[in-house]
Chains A and B, each alone.
Chain A
Amino acid sequence: MKNKSQTAKHFEEIARHEEKINILVRFPPGKMKIEETTEQLIYIKRRSVAKLTYVRDMKAEELGKILVFIEENHGRYENKKQLIELLITNFSSITGRKPQKAAKKIVTNFLITLNALELLDSNAQLSIYGKKLSRYFRMDVQKYKDYLGWLVLSKGGWIVILTELDELYKSHYFIKSKDELFQLLCEKLQQNGYIKGRWNLTDIFSWLTYLNILKQWDRITKIHQIDWKRVYGLLRDKALA
């Protein structure tokens, strides 16, 4: 009898034995929805954007040329003032533009952008970011675009421009022209405290288009479509950081 009851008892033990349920939660890369990506970008915006980098009178390609010039003239200046003078003197050869009376103002704007993107250190020498970007400009244009894209989105804070632009598109307001788009976007940025005064966004948009973050202006839909995949790819790529 002892043996008999043991079989049943043993089975009861098996029946009562703990069972494991395994649950796996994954976040596969590249499979995120656009809405999810936008949520992330809004989060990045809230977390890290303190100021926006302003770009005026400068093309994205010119930035590379300026960096190469600064690198090549290492040791020929000691401070920021001397660097500005050097850039003014060589303005035409660097940019390919005609000599201008306003060269000093333009060069000053260059320096503001370089500082904002942390491409220069406190001694007006190229920082690690500046050296990296200069090297990419000389060797591989696509890498230059990727790295500059990452810099303007993260350090330049232009992620804010994209998220505000996205919200503007989603407001279903029919934008009639590029000027109106810039005006509405400017007002939104002002309202949310990212900028003071009226900004001319033409150059910023031409940079974003050059960097393939924005698509070309669509004359029919009247929008600059945002390439979120590109934005997300740039922010995700740790090699850039």
Chain B
Amino acid sequence: MSISVSHSEIYGIPGKRLILNIQVEHPHETWKEIKIFIKYHPIFKTNSFEHLINRTNDVGFTVLKTEVVLPQDLGEYKLGEIIIERNGTVISHDLPRVHILTLDGYFEEMVAKELRSLGFVSKRWGGPDNPDIEAYHPDFPTQKFQVEATIEQNYGLRKYREDTGKFHDLKNRFDFKRLLIVPLVDPTNISKDVFDRLRKTSDPISLICFGDLQKLSEKYKNYHISKYEVFAYLSQTGFIRI
């Protein structure tokens, strides 16, 4: 008997729905009944799920569906446990760990994920005294990036100053060599002053919109660009357009 789960970790914001599709393949051998039991972490305030399969069908498997809605309590929790019992033999498997985040935190996770898909090693820190994300490429480990991800609707000079100021504060402590700013908004929602500053700056500061980061990731996945090109793109000073 084996249980495999598609995810080991899930990231989401409160109110997100998690749909659990449980496909139970019927044993080839003689069987009487298969009991499926899902026990959720109390934080999810969801009743445990229980189902009994006691007859076979033409397709040779049964699909069960259940769902959970992420609560308001932010944090990292184990979703629960799935327990299967057949002819007196019981096995169990942990369900994925769930990270319930604010929308900002979720965006930071998404940026870290995109960077990972580009071959970077990235870690989300979070908190006011820490960078949003720390990232480096394994081929260039000394070139550590501080990544600041923001979902503000309008990326203006005030926010730009905040991000660059934070970079100057943290770069020695974390040994950062570059700052990469990733706003959620597209270029039309970035103020002209920010573009001016980016054009004139001699500091290792760059800005790439999240949409462009996704495009870059897509190109890399489709083998249109190499890992060196990816690194070259993200190491450009100023505004990066894909």
Are B36 and A20 touching (Cβ within 8 A)?
Answer: no
Q: How far in angstroms is the closest Cβ of chain B from A231?
A: 12
A89 interfacial by beta-carbon distance below 8 Å: no
Cα-based distance from A3 to B153 in the complex (angstroms): 9
Mask for B5-16, Cβ within 8 A of A = 1, else 0? 111001011011
Task: Give the contact stretch, choosing among A6-14, A49-57, A102-110, A174-182.
Answer: A6-14
Sample of 15 more A-B contacts, CB < 8 Å, known A16-B12, A27-B31: A7-B186, A8-B153, A8-B185, A11-B184, A12-B103, A15-B107, A16-B17, A19-B18, A22-B5, A23-B21, A24-B4, A27-B26, A27-B27, A36-B1, A43-B87
Given contact pairs A4-B153, A21-B21, A22-B23, A39 touches B89 in the complex (Cβ within 8 A): yes
Nearest 7 interchain pairs by C-beta: A27-B27, A18-B17, A22-B6, A4-B153, A25-B24, A23-B22, A39-B87
Contact B189 A27 (CB under 8 A): no
| B residues lining the A interface (CB < 8 Å) | 1-7, 10, 12-13, 15-32, 34, 36, 67, 82, 84, 86-89, 93, 95-96, 103, 106-107, 151, 153-154, 184-186, 188-189
Q: Can you list 30 residue pairs at the A/B interface with Cβ under 8 Å?
A: A4-B153, A4-B154, A4-B185, A7-B184, A11-B184, A15-B103, A15-B106, A15-B107, A16-B12, A17-B16, A18-B18, A18-B19, A20-B6, A20-B19, A20-B20, A20-B21, A21-B20, A22-B5, A22-B6, A23-B3, A23-B4, A23-B5, A23-B82, A24-B23, A25-B24, A26-B2, A27-B25, A29-B28, A36-B1, A236-B30
Give A235 to B3 CA distance when docked, in angstroms: 25
* Residue of B18, B20, B27, B184 contacting most chain A CB atoms (<10 Å): B27
Min C-beta distance of B90 to chain A, whole Å: 11
- Complexed CA–CA distance, A127 and B170 (Å): 88
A8/B184 in contact, CB under 8 A: yes
State the main secondary structure of chain A at its contact with B. helix
B188 touches A3 (CB 8 A): yes
**Is A44 an interface residue, CB under 8 A from the partner?**
yes
In the complex, whether A197 has a CB less than 8 A from a CB of chain B is: no
Beyond A3-B189, A4-B189, is A25–B3 a contact (Cβ under 8 Å)? yes
A22 to B5, CA, bound (A): 6
Q: What is the chain A residue whose CB lies nearest that of B32?
A: A43
Interface size of A by Cβ–Cβ distance < 8 Å?
34
How far, in whole Å, are A4 and B150 apart by their CA atoms in the complex?
A: 13
Contacting pair B1 A27 (CB below 8 A): yes
Asked if A96 is at the interface (CB within 8 A of a chain B CB), the reply is no
- Rounded to whole Å, the gap between the CB of A24 and the closest CB of chain B is 5
Closest beta carbon of chain A to B109's beta carbon, Å: 10
